[in-house]
Structure 1
Amino acid sequence: MNMNTITAETTVGELVRAVPSRSRIFENLGIDYCCGGKKPLAEVCQTKHLDTTTVIAMLSALDAIPATSSANPDAMTLAELCDHIEQFHHSYLREELPRLQFMTRKVVTVHGEREPRLVEVWHVFEAFNAEMTAHTKEEDEVIFPAIRQLASANGNKATAAANLKEAFAKLESEHDRAGAALVQLKALTDGYNPPGWACNTFRALYDGLAKLEKNTHQHVHKENNILFPKALATA
């Protein structure tokens, strides 16, 4: 099947893999295309109480817009995709997580009594921060070098792929926990909408968390639905 074709039976991960800009529609509709990327569009729409035909029409309308020059991860080699993820997602997390951690602590200290949910925002963010910091470190130091080696190896790739398959299962579980944390953060922050009385740091924190969610969705999608399957298919 041509993966540019949109059907109700196509998984949401495959739809975004074929045309990355479709992720914008799914983000707006609250559809999980990263951790939940293996679910068919029809099933996801039913769960979200959305009309599948309408969603397909929205995706088709987006596809009709002339494409920009943005990179397509599905067209990259394994080495290029590892480089891309490190550059656009791992580097982002290394810079952004400490900034958000500082703001979270500051906002909960100053405004925690007036908005008690900030305490839980802090706890959920701290868990996310610890998980993703360790997660990206393992990928940078162990997993991605192994993937690059697999792509360039001429010998027996089956054993290497088997070891990676086990590692990928662990990483996908970590992705699931990160996704669940983002769902919690979105609920606790009313969709990252600060109260009217919020100070500039409060507003900057929620804006940063919203951007963190979008970057992480893209990050997880590229690994779960493109990098990991492509690496296993190399063997």
Structure 2
Amino acid sequence: MQTLNETVTENLTLSEIVKNNFRTASLFEKYGLDFCCNGKRSLTDACREKGINSEKIIKEIKNMSSSGSKEEIRPDNWKLDFLIGYIINNHHSYVNRMLPVISVHTQKVASVHGENHPETKKIAEIFASINNEMRHHMMKEEKILFPHILKLVALSGNRDEKNIPYFGTIKNPIAMMEAEHESAGGGMSEIRKLSNNFTPPTDACETYKISFKELKEFEEDLHRHVHLENNILFPKAIDLEERLF
């Protein structure tokens, strides 16, 4: 039986490739290919925009099959309730844990090194905005959107007027969440540029180095987090709502 790694073509979208083999997320990270917010682009178009040979990427994906026996993770096959639990327990918990830590570190670096490295002040400012946005964003997901998706899962299929949420179709809050994902992703992309791909300067202190490492890991986690929601959870929730109502 063929695996996705053996059948992948340049016409598949980035999100389709990652949905079928979550390990390819690391490869796309390496080449700066956005598989989350812009995951609907084909591999060809994404590579062309970055000036990368798509055949080279395809070869590396295929090599993943022969590089080890590690089982491919397929979140696309998970049930919605399990997927929501996974997102909360793995990604939301990580974000809640790291937001205050990174905020303290970026502010400290800006305070100490801001005169010689003014970009650190901008980095701290952008991350402060991300900190505020992400906290409110995840609260809305956990208090409003996710419970409604779980309610859809529990419904028998008979329309019940009492179960229609005040926000109408689930597409409305999902569109808002996707816009907020785009904002957070754009902020982290700007930080990556300002930090020269999270590369600390030669005069960086330990906190400086640690903060850049934390920012890099935060962006990588954000990409996987947003991919699971934008490209798997949200489309499935919309499809479920349409089938029920």
Q: TM-score range by the shorter chain?
A: over 0.9
* Whole-angstrom distance in 2 between the partners of 1:177 and 1:3: 34
Equivalents in 1 of 2:205, 2:72: separation in Å? 35
1:131 corresponds to: 133
Which residue does 2:63 correspond to in 1?
Answer: 61
1:176 to 170, 175, 182: 182
Q: Do residues 88 (structure 1) and 90 (structure 2) align?
A: yes
State the alpha-carbon separation in 2 of the partners of residues 162 and 27 from structure 1.
Answer: 36
The 1-side partners of 2:12 and 2:234 are apart by 19
Displacement of 1:65: 3.1
Which of 235, 242, 245 is residue 229 of structure 1 equivalent to? Answer: 235
- Amino acid across the alignment from 1:10: L
Residues 1:206 and 2:212 aligned together: yes
* Structure 1 Cα separation of the partners of residues 112 and 123 of structure 2: 14
Measure the CA separation in 2 of the matches of 1:14 and 1:141. Answer: 29
After TM superposition, the structure 1 = structure 2 runs for residues 132-211 of structure 1, keeping only pairs within 5 Å, are 132-154=134-156, 155-156=158-159, 163-211=169-217
Q: In 1, are the aligned partners of 2:21 and 2:73 still within 8 Å (CA)?
A: no
User: Kindly tell me: are residues 231 and 183 of structure 1, through their superposed partners in 2, closer, same or farther at Cα, counting changes over 3 Å?
Assistant: same
Alignment-mate amino acid for residue 107 of structure 1: V
Letter of the structure 1 residue corresponding to residue 115 of structure 2: E
Counterpart contact for 1:3–1:15, Cα < 8 Å: no
For 1:9, the aligned partner's letter is N
Question: Is the CA contact 1:35–1:221 (under 8 Å) kept in the aligned structure 2?
Answer: yes
CA distance in 2: counterparts of 1:195 and 1:45, whole angstroms = 29
CA distance in 1 between partners of 2:187 and 2:238 (Å): 28
Once residues 193 and 54 of structure 1 are traced to their aligned partners in structure 2, the CA distance between those partners, rounded to angstroms, is 26
Higher mean alpha-carbon deviation, 211-220 vs 124-133, is at 124-133
Further displaced range: 67-76 or 121-130: 67-76
Asked if residue 30 in structure 1 is aligned to residue 40 in structure 2, the reply is no
Question: Percent identity over the alignment?
Answer: 32
Contact 2:114/2:121 (<8 A) preserved: yes
CA distance in 2: counterparts of 1:229 and 1:53, whole angstroms = 29
Q: Distance in 1 between matches of 2:211 and 2:180?
A: 24
Give the Cα–Cα distance (whole angstroms) in 2 for the partners of residues 156 and 181 of structure 1.
41
Aligned to 1:187, the other structure's residue is in SS state helix
Q: Does the 8 A contact of 1:82 with 1:144 survive in 2? A: yes
Superposed displacement of residue 232, structure 1: 1.6
Residue type matched to 2:186 in 1?
Answer: A
* 8 Å CA contact 1:35, 1:175 repeated in 2: yes
- What do you get for the CA RMSD once the two structures are aligned? 1.9
Aligned length: 234
Report deviation, 1:64: 3.0
Instruction: List runs of 5+ in structure 2 lacking aligned partners.
Output: none
Higher deviation after alignment, 37-46 or 58-67: 58-67
Partner of 1:76: 78
Inter-partner Cα distance in structure 2 for 1:31 and 1:3: 22
- CA-to-aligned-CA distance 1:32-65 (integer Å, 9 cap, x gap): 0000101111111111111111111111111333
Distance 1:26-1:74 versus aligned 2 partners, 3 A rule? same
Structure 2 residue aligned with 1:220: 226
CA contact (8 A) 1:34 1:220 kept: yes
